[in-house]
Structure 1
Amino acid sequence: MVAQAKSAPRLALVAGEASGDLLAGLLMGGLRQRWPDLTAQGIGGPRMAEQGFEAWWPHHKLAVRGYAEVLRHYRDISGIRKQLARRLLQERPDAFIGVDAPDFNLGLETWLREAGLKTVHFVCPSIWAWRAKRVTKIAKAADHVLCLFPFEPELLARHGISASYVGHPLADTIPLEVPRASARQALGLSATEPVVALLPGSRRSEIQYIAPHLLAAAALLHRCRPELRFVLPVVPGLREMIDPLVATHAADVPLSVLDGRSHEALAACDLTLIASGTATLEAALFKRPMVITYHMHWLSWQLMKRMGYQPWVGLPNILCRDFVVPELLQDQATPQALADAALAWLDDPARCERLEQRFLELHHLLRRNTAQAATDAIAQVLGR
């Protein structure tokens, strides 16, 4: 890294998957607004690259979920972390910002912090939902934590961890009023036809385990309601996995596979069948009825289901403290169950309207100028 004036810090960031890339890209927009000559390097994706980020490794190298899947890729991921740590300790940026990906970032942050580098963790790990003991790792790893949800800073403060509530950047970027008509026009959909969005996730393992269930559910829905149209956004690099699955499970379904464009799909749809994760919060901010699902390797499921502290796994339900949308997980996530839950939404407009109002209230709660708030907190860490 080339030395610059103090007004332009040198930062290192790691975002480990599509959702982290999205968050980091939004954060970098705020950072670059304050420091136009900012230098930022590390691991990231296309949203970060749009803000001038230099990726030493692409973010999809870390996009692995589930214990069994991680074990298969452990050597590669561990090797990347060690190489990155050596490089950062040599070049010594002004601060390291780990964006989500706690299994990768917390250990890396601990090494860097012990060596005297400033560390910020963006997105508080969900210790309020599962793996509460992870709070001890956070305390060792991060000089400061940027929290997306308002109850998190107080929880961290009990353990002596400095933290700020910065709101959720998606609540800033997604409009309060859903641009349904323009999204449908952009996707070539009519204003009146009912549309179901299928969002199986952004990881290869999610495509493997979840997409077949969603596609089979779409086939059942098509037989029951031939007027339904379907859209399936796919993150870059995973299209080759989706196309054979569509041919196997939903060959006769009126389905459009989209390269990216998940926000347009969510704005345009009447309902989404969606993998648990950040995308469910996006769906809530678009005020969409949804059926949350997840399916993974059986060993990963056995390990993870024992670690939960709450009855919910989906972010909309966790934030609303209620089962406002159904969750069908693992063995419950059959195509027929998914189709039945979808039809229950389609057949109950009053229920959909009540949910839309609930999600509008949630949107207002999370809506802050996150990029500026996060940048202010990072500036304090940097002493600028």
Structure 2
Amino acid sequence: MQTDGQRRFALVAGEASGDLLAGLLLDGLLARWPDLQTAGIGGPRMLAHGFQSWWPQEKLAVRGYIEVLRHYAEIAGIRRQLKARLLQERPQLFIGVDAPDFNLDLEAGLRSQGIRTVHFVCPSIWAWRPERIEKIRAAADHVLCIFPFEPELLAEQGVAASYVGHPVANVIPMTPDQAGARAKLGLSPDAPVVALLPGSRRSEIRYLAARFFAAAALMQKARPELQFVAPVIPGLRAEVEALLQASGMAGRVKLLDGQSHAVLAACDVTLIASGTATLEAALFKRPMVIAYNMNSLSWRLMRRKQLQPWVGLPNILCREFVVPELLQEAATPEALAEATLAWLGAPEKTRALQQRFSELHVQLQRDTPTLCADAIQKVLEG
């Protein structure tokens, strides 16, 4: 990243969803500046664009207060080393992709030393932790927003921002090819498919995967014809396989390395961890049951800062409970199984939900790579 005279940007994307967003962002940046060099911390989609990752992305994929505390020393050390390296190499721009707990402090430190900064994905100050607006104001020269109501909210607080659409809305087809996805994954075209997505973080697998597999066992007992499929982050496969074996569902749940989009296209309903994947499921027009479970202390701390009654992105964007949320103690295998099976017995409700999700899809579709590059070019021009 030290080549003289060449445009150089640094990026940090801290987990799988951030890697997806950053990969799409790099499409626009490299189209605008073909000789662009990029480095920092990222995942496989970024690496495919020639990105140099100085640390494994998985080091930052930690969620929840208690879980972060356990890894705080290592994460803080990475941030200190990264900041020192960036202040030495001085890229023209730093782009923090989501991961606000890591990126906002880093951005503020770089910006105070004259490096321009962009934050991609507005932290959800409209959902919880509104005090973050002070950090955003100090950290970012510009915020790239993926939801249409966010720029006005930030402008009221003196933060420059642009709505760029949600990048995933352009990747996911308006009408998914369910039959093609089932053929690709080796699933029967006739029997219903339930997708199990317990999350992409080790902490999520720890707290959710066993519940999801236990729920699957109950669903299969009620409806033996059901097919179950679960995409897995390759680095977590061994842990997931052990939990699947313990549940008695080994051989009954098809585990796949990645391919979450193919799984969502193929399924009839998904049992899914709260997070970015819920929006992807909505864009695939799939009914879902949103679940979450975490360390009990982390949960109590988070609930105190929650500003809205919804946790799942589809419900937040639709401003009502269009899909059920079963959180913490409510996320029992019995409740998860019952709520998931209910969708399979409600075709009219499913069609109404799919229409609502189609309208949401249209709202989120924009030429995101180009809009991002336009906004970033204005930042560079001062």
Distance in 1 between residues matched to 2:241 and 2:372, nearest whole Å: 39
Distance in 1 between residues matched to 2:336 and 2:7, nearest whole Å: 49
What is the match of residue 69 of structure 1? Answer: 67
Q: Secondary structure at the match of 2:173?
A: coil
What is the match of residue 146 of structure 1? Answer: 144
Of 339, 345, 357, which aligns to 1:359?
A: 357
What is the match of residue 319 of structure 2? Answer: 321
Of 179, 182, 192, which aligns to 1:181?
A: 179
Q: Secondary structure at the match of 1:280?
A: helix
Of 15, 22, 25, which aligns to 2:23?
A: 25
What is the match of residue 55 of structure 2? Answer: 57
Distance in 1 between residues matched to 2:36 and 2:27, nearest whole Å: 11
Distance in 2 between residues matched to 1:30 and 1:191, nearest whole Å: 37
Following TM superposition, by how much is the alpha carbon of 1:383 offset from its aligned partner in structure 2, in angstroms? 1.4
Following TM superposition, by how much is the alpha carbon of 1:30 offset from its aligned partner in structure 2, in angstroms? 1.1
Residue type matched to 1:305 in 2? R
What is the match of residue 2 of structure 1? Answer: 2
Following TM superposition, by how much is the alpha carbon of 1:233 offset from its aligned partner in structure 2, in angstroms? 0.2
**Contact 1:218-1:250 at 8 Å conserved across structures:** no
What is the match of residue 45 of structure 2? Answer: 47
Distance in 2 between residues matched to 1:377 and 1:250, nearest whole Å: 52
Q: Structure 1, residues 16-66: CA drift from partner, whole Å, max 9, x if none?
A: 000001100110111111111110000000010011100001111000000
TM-score by length of 2: 0.99
Q: Structure 1, residues 238-285: CA drift from partner, whole Å, max 9, x if none?
A: 101100000011435621000000000000000000000000000000
What is the match of residue 252 of structure 2? Answer: 254
Residue type matched to 1:373 in 2? L
Residue type matched to 1:301 in 2? W
Residue type matched to 1:149 in 2? F
Distance in 1 between residues matched to 2:217 and 2:321, nearest whole Å: 26
**Contact 1:218-1:339 at 8 Å conserved across structures:** yes
**Contact 1:164-1:377 at 8 Å conserved across structures:** yes
Matches for 1:232-381 after TM superposition, within 5 Å: 232-251=230-249, 254-381=252-379
Residue type matched to 1:41 in 2? A
What is the match of residue 101 of structure 1? Answer: 99
Distance in 1 between residues matched to 2:232 and 2:378, nearest whole Å: 38
Distance in 1 between residues matched to 2:8 and 2:127, nearest whole Å: 34
Distance in 2 between residues matched to 1:250 and 1:321, nearest whole Å: 38
2:216 pairs with 1:218? yes
Distance in 1 between residues matched to 2:116 and 2:268, nearest whole Å: 45
Q: Secondary structure at the match of 1:57?
A: strand
Following TM superposition, by how much is the alpha carbon of 1:236 offset from its aligned partner in structure 2, in angstroms? 2.3
Following TM superposition, by how much is the alpha carbon of 1:91 offset from its aligned partner in structure 2, in angstroms? 0.1
Following TM superposition, by how much is the alpha carbon of 1:147 offset from its aligned partner in structure 2, in angstroms? 0.2
What is the match of residue 165 of structure 2? Answer: 167
**Contact 2:144-2:161 at 8 Å conserved across structures:** yes
Distance in 1 between residues matched to 2:331 and 2:227, nearest whole Å: 21
Residue type matched to 1:176 in 2? M
Distance in 2 between residues matched to 1:56 and 1:2, nearest whole Å: 14
**Contact 2:2-2:89 at 8 Å conserved across structures:** no
Q: Structure 1, residues 165-212: CA drift from partner, whole Å, max 9, x if none?
A: 000000011111111111111000121110000000000000000111
Q: Secondary structure at the match of 2:235?
A: coil
Contiguous gaps of at least 5 residues in structure 2: none
Distance in 2 between residues matched to 1:300 and 1:349, nearest whole Å: 37
TM-score by length of 1: 0.98
Following TM superposition, by how much is the alpha carbon of 1:227 offset from its aligned partner in structure 2, in angstroms? 0.2
Residue type matched to 2:109 in 1? W
What is the match of residue 383 of structure 1? Answer: 381
Which stretch shifts more, 287-296 or 247-256?
Answer: 247-256
What is the match of residue 90 of structure 1? Answer: 88
Aligned length: 382
Following TM superposition, by how much is the alpha carbon of 1:4 offset from its aligned partner in structure 2, in angstroms? 4.9
RMSD between aligned residues: 1.0
